[in-house]
Amino acid sequence: MTLIIAKIIVFLFLANFDTTQGAVLDIKAFGGAPNSNIRQAFTSAWTQACASTTPAKIVIPAGTYQLTGIDVKGPCKAPIEIQVDGTIKSPPNPADIKAVTQWVKFGYLDRLTISGKGVFDGLGATAWKQNDCHKNKNCKMLMMNFGFNFVNNSIVRDITSKDSKNFHVNVLACNNFTFEGFKVIAPDESPNTDGIHIGKSTDVKVLNSNIGTGDDCVSIGDGCKKITIQGVNCGPGHGISVGSLGKYDTEEPVEGLLVKNCTFTKTDNGVRIKTWPNTPGSITVTDMKFEDLTMNNVRNPIIIDQEYCPWNHCSKESPSKIKISKVSIKNVKGTSKSKEGVILICSRGVPCEEVDMTNVDLTFNGAPAIAKCANVKPVIKGKAPACVASA
């Protein structure tokens, strides 16, 4: 009798433990075999996971898989983790992807985790040749690798995004969202392949990540607050950018950015704020902190450009209406590829205010780099280049 009671207790304990842990859903159980299209298998696993009242994990084990695109939504009843240890490949031709703007898309979720050593390969090389957005305003946007829309209290950890056709990641209207140990891989000639673009989101963190791509490593759009980028290695790429801003009159302010302990290697820019001239936008950009940064042969290590006008697609007749204030640039060292290691070109309509430079030690060909400034009077502390007026 005692033995029977003991077995019952063990059974109840294990049953309770299983309930607490939730289900583990291997896509192989849903027909997701290596070298096959796992779209339906993943969708079926997601439906089951989303309906679970206890935490669930979807597992994509080691192997190579095809995926023609997914677009899954919540709300779900409990946290979901997606553990990816395989390589997932996109169709090379964008027309073969069964999605609209993002190849792998998540929306309206809380407590999502994506983890593992897996690779999402966008196979963008063929598609990049179709991209003429640098000269055609009406170009057709290519597919992004990931889209996270209205996703809160979530984390993406350790996985790799490779050769996206467009942006690697787009984060829209998310709160308390973290990327850690995230990797982005694409050649410097891949167009419009921002590593992580963040828009209209609060408390997004990019931590201890390696991002090398053909455009901004991280770009921050309008409506962002409390963004932290720390321990990121950027290169190749165009650096870490706020903007471009001001092109539209519906934009929202940007407030609270910390870029800290980051290294930039052979990038076009280091840290940058860019706004359009002669456009309707009139928001504010404030509380920007750039600290403890290393520049390795960077073309423009520190730049505020309020005359941003790529490919001469705009007019500079009227100044930017974006007001930039409370910018702190502190403990920046390394080498600049240009003599002007610091460029602060602010708007003549709304000059920058409360800009501080502390211990900025940049060299160009072994000599101290200079700072070119317009419509700003930065406060210099410690070793930092004095401003030379812009012509």
The token duo for 321 is 């209406």
Burial string for 134-152 (b: 16+ CB within 10 Å, else e) reads eeeeeeeebbbbbbbbbbb
In this predicted model, what pLDDT tens digit does every residue of 182-241 receive, in sequence order?
A: 999 999 999 999 999 999 999 999 999 999 999 999 999 999 999 999 999 999 999 999
Q: Domain total for the chain?
A: 1
Residue 130 lies in a domain: yes
CATH no. for residue 98? 2.160.20.10
> What's residue 96's pLDDT?
87
Residue entry with tokens 């932290």 = 228
310 is written with which tokens?
């790529």
With respect to residue 10, please indicate whether it lies within any of the assigned structural domains: no
Residue 207, H or E segment: strand 202-207
Instruction: Determine the pLDDT at residue 10.
Output: 37
Report residue 29: phi and psi, to 5°.
Answer: -70, -15
| Residue 1 belongs to some domain of the structure | no
- Considering the domain boundaries, does residue 235 fall inside one? yes
User: According to the model, what pLDDT value does residue 242 have?
Assistant: 98
Other CB atoms within a 10 A radius of the CB of residue 365 amount to 9
3-state secondary structure of 137: coil
What's the confidence (pLDDT) of residue 49? Answer: 98
Q: Which of 4-8, 38-42, 72-76 has the lowest mean pLDDT?
A: 4-8
The residue annotated as part of the active site, out of 134, 168, 197, 238, is 238
Q: Are strands 353-364 and 367-368 parallel, antiparallel or unpaired?
A: antiparallel
User: What's the CA gap between 387 and 10, in Å, rounded?
Assistant: 74
- CA 185/CA 280 separation, integer angstroms: 36
Q: What is the mean pLDDT of the chain?
A: 92
CB contact at 8 A, 297 and 265 = yes
Q: Which domain holds residue 198?
A: 25-389
Q: Is residue 17 part of a domain?
A: no
Task: Tokens for 215, please give them.
Answer: 């455009």
Question: For residue 90, what is the enclosing H or E element?
Answer: none
Residue 4 has pLDDT above 80, yes or no: no
CB atoms < 10 A from the CB of 355, how many? Answer: 22
What phi and psi, each to the nearest 5 degrees, are found at residue 47?
A: -60, -40
238 is catalytic: yes
- Once rounded to an integer, what is the mean pLDDT over residues 363-374? 96
Instruction: Give domain status of residue 307, yes or no.
Output: yes
Q: Is the peptide bond before 244 cis (omega within 30 degrees of 0)?
A: yes
The answer to whether residue 18 sits within a structural domain is no
Question: What is the reported pLDDT for 134?
Answer: 58
Residue 362 lies in a domain: yes
Residue 93 or 304, more confident: 304
